[in-house]
């Protein structure tokens, strides 16, 4: 498993576990894995086998594919949304584009986390 993919998988397992409100010990017990091993997986120190991933997914109540659903980086998502807005406005009249600009200006300032 490449380092980047491995890193994304262990982050996803941890996020799903926390969403399910399970401790590492509880998830390990449900997946019939060692808590020590699961801790290593979540810290990126061990690569789980396909069989282990199947058991982890089942214990979390998610599909195996859900462990490979990685959220986009915030900057990439914003970039894609801006491209979509541009595509939608490309063939609008200048007054329609100006109207959209005014609507956006009425939005409250963004809160950055």
What local confidence, expressed as pLDDT, does residue 29 receive? 97
**Are 51 and 87 within one domain?**
no
CATH number of the domain within which 31 lies: 1.10.260.40
Region 79-108: what's the mean pLDDT? 89
Q: Could you report the per-residue pLDDT of 57-90, keeping only the tens digit for each?
A: 999 999 999 888 876 666 666 777 788 888 889 9
Q: Beta-carbon neighbour count of residue 110 at 10 Å?
A: 6
Q: Which domain holds residue 20?
A: 3-68
Q: Are 24 and 14 in contact (CB under 8 A)?
A: no
pTM of the full structure? 0.61
**Are 56 and 34 within one domain?**
yes
Number of Cα atoms under 13 Å in the Cβ half of residue 56: 31
Q: Provide φ and ψ at 49, rounded to 5°.
A: -75, 170
Q: Is residue 112 part of a domain?
A: no
N-terminal to C-terminal alpha carbon distance within the chain: 32
Q: Could you report the per-residue pLDDT of 4-58, keeping only the tens digit for each?
A: 777 888 888 998 899 899 999 999 999 999 999 999 999 888 889 999 999 999 9
């Amino acid at each position: 498993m490449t380092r980047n993919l491995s890193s994304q998988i262990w982050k996803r397992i941890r996020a799903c576990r926390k969403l399910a409100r399970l401790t590492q010990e509880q998830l390990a017990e449900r997946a019939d894995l060692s808590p020590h091993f699961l801790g290593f997986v979540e810290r990126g120190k061990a690569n789980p086998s396909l069989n282990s991933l199947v058991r982890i997914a089942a214990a979390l109540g998610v599909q195996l594919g859900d462990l490979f659903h990685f959220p986009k980086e915030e900057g990439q998502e914003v970039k894609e949304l801006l491209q979509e807005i541009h595509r939608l406005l490309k063939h609008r009249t200048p007054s329609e584009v100006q109207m959209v600009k005014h609507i956006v200006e009425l939005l409250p300032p963004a809160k950055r986390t």
